[in-house]
Amino acid sequence: MQGKDPSEPETRIDCSAGVDVSKEWLDAHVLPADQRLRVPNSKPGIAQLKRWLIRQDVELVAVEPTGKFHRSLCRSLAQSGIPVSQVDPYRARQFARAAGVLAKTDSIDASVLARFAMAMGASLRTLPGQALYDLQELVRARETAVLEATGLRNQKASANDRFLIAQLNRRIRRLERDIACLEQEIDRRIAADPQLARRREILVSIPGIAAVTATTLVAAMPELGTVSRREVAMLAGLAPIANDSGEHKGKRSIRGGRGNVRRVLYMAALSAKRWQPHLRAFEARLKDEGKQAKVVIIAVARKLLVLANSLISQDRIYATNAP
């Protein structure tokens, strides 16, 4: 392998906040001060909330993603340098049940999020800076346009009406132009940031990782190079989850994680195992053990991600003969 796992310093959260987001309101709760605040979910309300959080000296703000209503808050907090983390609603609900909190109101949800941030702060990832946040929006827009173009091509394949085919062709060409413009802007944004440009340079040096995969990893996996191999696999949803109890050995499966990262790595694995000898040998060994084809590809994708994580942690280009 090309390197070892990066070490991750332990952190302790002494003051945390939870913010429950709805269309109209933002309910905040700060611990251990046990202070509460409700403000409108608007620009003036967010500004008031930020001033309040700064006075409280909050170290981490936990927010549940709620469609589009949380985006302005998270973006504004990140711009002001206030650490904010988006918490999986399922994890927050399970945490509340474990703590014996069965009731659910906006105020209670904010309190649960604050307690969750206090307890799990060391393992929560804060949102990226403004440049990376904007890049993520562009990458998501490109992914959406590609999916739409694929759907139109599939519709065209079964269409017979000339008028409909001509209309589908026009829409496909327009989407192709939009995708090309988005890719140009994404490339420009990455090139303008030396750190992002270096990360992409390292990623594209790995056989099997092309420009689109590298761009997705740069935008969607800012944790690369700062976490362990197990953590990075969990973040991407490529880690096999154990299902054992006593003598029972259940079937392991992958779940959760970042779907867009998992999809591009799955396709990259199909190419990488042809070009990297150690991945080709790894694939052959798993097949000899009787592993299913998809299980093998997922395992190769996980190896590819771990390799990328190691190289970025060392700030080193891929080498066939690793030092």
φ/ψ of 85, rounded to 5, equals: -130, 135
Band the pLDDT of 76: cuts 50, 70, 90. confident
Contacts of 167 (CB under 8 A, 6+ apart): none
**Distance (Å, whole) CA 230 – CA 226:** 12
Give the full edge-to-edge strand order of the sheet including 84-86. Answer: 35-40, 25-31, 16-21, 60-63, 84-86
Per-residue pLDDT at 323: 54
Per-residue pLDDT at 136: 87
Segment 213-234 mean pLDDT: 89
Per-residue pLDDT at 31: 92
Q: E-strand spans in the chain? A: 16-21, 25-31, 35-40, 60-63, 84-86, 244-245, 248-249
Checking if the pLDDT of 4 tops 70, the result is no
Per-residue pLDDT at 187: 95
Tokens of 213: 């995969």
Tokens of 26: 């933002």
Instruction: Tally DSSP H helices, then E strands, for the chain.
Output: 12, 7
Per-residue pLDDT at 78: 82
Nearest of 133, 156, 140, 172 to residue 263 by alpha carbon: 140
Per-residue pLDDT at 171: 96
Segment 191-203 mean pLDDT: 93
Task: Tell me if the domain spanning 16-123 has CATH number 3.50.50.100.
Answer: no
The two beta strands, 60-63 and 35-40, are: unpaired
Band the pLDDT of 169: cuts 50, 70, 90. very high
Segment 47-70 mean pLDDT: 88
Nearest of 93, 89, 88, 86 to residue 125 by alpha carbon: 86
Average pLDDT value over all residues in the chain:
87
Which tens digits make up the pLDDT trace of 260-310? 889 999 999 988 888 888 888 888 898 888 888 888 899 999 999 999 999
CA distances in angstroms from 95 to 99, 100, 102, 112, listed in the order given = 6, 9, 10, 8
Tokens of 9: 């310093």
Per-residue pLDDT at 7: 47
Band the pLDDT of 184: cuts 50, 70, 90. very high
Per-residue pLDDT at 8: 45
Q: Which residue has the higher pLDDT, 226 or 175?
A: 175
Segment 49-55 mean pLDDT: 93
